[in-house]
Amino acid sequence: MGMVGTVGLVLHPQRDSKKAIDTILRWAADKGATVLGLPEEVGRIDCTAVPVDTDALVEKADLLVGLGGDGTMLRTMRLLAGRPTPILGVNLGKLGFLAEIDVDELPKTLSAIDRHEYTIEPRMAIRTSVNGTEMTAFNDIALVRYPGHGLANVAVTPSDSPFVRYSADAVIVATSTGSTAYSFSAGGPIVSPRVEAVLVVPAAAHSAFNRALVLPADEQVSLHVLPSSGRLAVEVDGAVKGHLAPRRQPHRDRLARRGQGGPPGHHVLRTRPPQAPR
C-alpha cells in the first residue's frame, strides 16, 4: 500500500464511533486525504466525511477502516468482494478478534501507517455451493440442527475420500481466521490466521468420533447430509442463508472448498515496530 489518499469508513450501526471518526478526520486533514463513508452511516454523525454509495466507497478507498467489532469487520470484507484494499479494524468497546486495535490506540496506529511501519496480512475465505447457490464465508459455514428436530448427521468427504460421519448439534467448516469464532466454542483448535487451513469441527457431538479435522486449504471438502439427519440450517458467518432437509439419498452438493487460485479473501493491516537499520 502506497500513500493513503482516500480512507473509507464502515461503521457499527449502534456503537458510538464519534471519537474514532474525529481522530481519523484530523489525521486525514493533516495529510490532505479524503474520508468517505456510506450516507446512512456518516449521516447520523456530525462529521465531515463525504457520503458516497457502496460502489464508490470500495473503488476509491486506499484503506478501509471498520469501526465496531467482528461483525463490522465481516461486513467490510463483504463490501470489498475480493479486492486487495487493506482493512484496519478498530474495536469499539467489546471483545474482538478481527478488529485488532482499540480506539485509544488509533492515533499511534495512524502515525505508524504514515511511517510505513505496518504489514498487510492476507486472510483466506471459503466458498460453498448449496443447491447450486454459491456463498462465501470469512469465518465459517455451519450445518446446524433446528430446535426440536433430529441431530445433524453429516458425512465428511475430503478430496472424494469418505473419512468420517458426525452426529452432532452442528458441523462447522471454518477458516483459520474463524478458528476463534463458532469453531472455538465447539472445542476446535486455535489456528494462526497465517496458516491456510480448513477446519471441520462437530459441535456437541453425539458420536464416538468427536475430533476436529484440520485440512489443507486447497483440498475440496464435501459434506453429505445423511437420510437420518434432522432438518438443518445453513449458516454463513453466523447468518442463516438456507436450510436442508434429509432425503432418502444423502445430499451430495454440500461443498466447502478453497478453489484453484483461492476464493476472494481479505487483507488485514497490522502495524509493526520499526526495524533497526542493518
Place of cell 478453497: 258
Q: Active site residue: 30, 53, 55, 70, which one?
A: 70
Q: Annotated catalytic, 70?
A: yes
C-alpha cell at 142: 455451519
Contact 216, 190 (CB under 8 A): no
Nearest to 213 by CA among 271, 159, 260: 159
Instruction: Walk across the sheet containing 239-244 and list its strands.
Output: 213-216, 197-203, 170-175, 140-145, 232-236, 239-244
CA neighbours closer than 13 Å in the CB half-sphere of residue 210:
11
Contact 8, 57 (CB under 8 A): yes
Helices (runs of H) and strands (runs of E) counted in the chain? 6, 20
Q: Which residues are catalytic?
A: 70
